Amino acid sequence: MIIFATSDKGGTGRSVTGSNLAYRQALQGKDACYVDFDFGSPTAGAIFDLGEVQAGTDGDGLHTYLEGNIAQPRMINVWAETQREALRNRPAGVGRLTLVPGDRGGGEFPSSPPAVQRCIELLVSLDEQYDLILVDLSAGRSYATEIVLEATAHPSMAGVEARWVVFHRWTRQHIVAAGGLVHGTKGILDTGELHGHDRGILQEKIRFVRTAVLDPSASEQAGLRPEQLAWLDVCNRRLQDLAAQNRVGRVHLLGVIPLDPVLQWQEQLLTNDDVWLHRTANERTVNALEDLAKRILDIDSWEGL
């Protein structure tokens, strides 16, 4: 299963949530691969604590591969290469966790038939090797998005299951922007249709994930005054109405990740020790990530919503 992780705005939680989803899948024994298609800023290495590639790799990453200069992009075994000790002591029975990094300073580049062909070859080959491939796309109506829409419309990818998760914050601007990225002019559906996708089928493969959501009823909010809690509740209902109007509402929702201090400040993989031993991360956050990791691979979660 390939998941294209996208968002209209930057800073939505796409990479932090996506990396944690790949990690959770690997913990559950699945082979997971994170592909950094954020061409302008491929910094996923930082989340996996891969110091040497925290801003991309040098000359052997996805940019160089898609431009046709190498036969295979670099593949990094996160369990073995991470500088974070808590991750290197991986539990027994975990699956593979691989990062395919972009190139440092690679930048955006327009789609071209050879780049699309190489993208197809990469995705087909990864699909044979991994249970979950999470492709972190550059935000907005990006070249990265166009390349993968062209690739997935190609007949040689017909047998590969590919879905889309649009990440957004639980705010007015983000809700409107996320809806626009999918349904708006030159959005994912328009661009997909242009490249040969069936609009209705593509739309059924797209779901939304809300990130860094503040829950008025959570215990961490116990310090808020009653007036603030009541006001938050009103805001929440207004946002729900706005989400429904923008087709980003409950019917198209795949998950909600709560606001978590460790994700906010440290942008890291949340280990079970962060929750139960160090008690720095919230249990609710890890439960939400676990739940989303399961739903992403479960076809029923996507159908009939």
Ligand X SMILES: Nc1ncnc2c1ncn2[C@@H]1O[C@H](COP(=O)(O)OP(=O)(O)OP(=O)(O)O)[C@@H](O)[C@H]1O
Q: Could you list the residues that contact Mg ion (CB under 5 A)?
A: 15
Which residues ranging from 285 to 304 are in contact with ligand X (CB under 6 A)?
none
Question: What residue is closest to Mg ion based on CB?
Answer: 15
Nearer to ligand X, 165 or 212 (CB): 212
d(CA 23, CA 87): 10
Question: Is residue 52 a contact partner of residue 74, using CB atoms and an 8 Å limit?
Answer: no
Q: Which of 36, 150, 260, 274 binds ligand X (CB under 6 A)?
A: 260
Cβ closest to ligand X, residue 10 vs residue 114: 10
Least gap, CB of 55 to ligand X (angstroms): 12
Quick one: 130 or 167, whose CB is closer to ligand X?
A: 167
Exposed / middle / buried, residue 110 (Cβ in 10 Å: 0-12, 13-18, 19+): exposed
Q: Which residues contact 288 (CB under 8 A, 6 or more apart)?
A: 255, 256, 257, 258
Q: Where are the beta strands (DSSP E) in 179-279?
A: 206-213, 253-258
Three-state secondary-structure class, residue 202: helix
- Under rule CB under 6 A, residue 259 binds ligand X: yes
With CB under 6 A, what is the number of residues at the site for ligand X?
21
- Contact partner at residue 259 from Mg ion, ligand X, none, CB < 5 to 8 Å by partner kind: ligand X
Residue 31: how many CB atoms within 10 A of its CB? 18
Q: Give the residue, chosen from 267, 280, 301, 302, that forms a contact with ligand X under the rule CB under 6 A.
A: 267
Pick from Mg ion, ligand X, none: which does 6 bind, CB < 5 to 8 A by kind?
none
Query: Residue 29 in 3-state DSSP?
Result: coil
- Torsional sign, CA 202, 102, 35, 154: positive
- Which of the residues 154 through 193 are near ligand X (CB under 6 A)? 167
Site string for ligand X, 132-151 (x = CB under 6 A): -------x------------
- Among ligand X, Mg ion, none, the one that 162 touches (CB under a kind-dependent 5 to 8 A) is none
Three-state DSSP class for 135?
Answer: strand
User: What is the nearest approach in angstroms of Mg ion to the Cβ of residue 134?
Assistant: 12
As measured in angstroms, the least distance from the Cβ of 72 to Mg ion is 24
Nearest approach in angstroms of CB 256 to ligand X is 10
Give, as ranges, the residues between 2 and 61 that touch ligand X (CB under 6 A).
7, 10-17, 38, 41
Helix and strand totals (H; E) in the chain: 15, 8
Single residue of 166, 263, 269, 292 touching ligand X by CB under 6 A: 263
CB 157 within 8 A of CB 116: no
The secondary structure of residue 138, as a DSSP letter, is P
Residue appearing with tokens 């390939």: 2
Q: Distance (Å, rounded) from C-alpha 229 to C-alpha 233?
A: 6
CB-neighbour burial class of residue 299 (10 A; exposed 0-12, middle 13-18, buried 19+): exposed
Q: How far is the CB of 41 from Mg ion (least distance, A)?
A: 7
List of residues contacting ligand X (CB under 6 A): 7, 10-17, 38, 41, 139, 167, 211-212, 257, 259-260, 263-264, 267
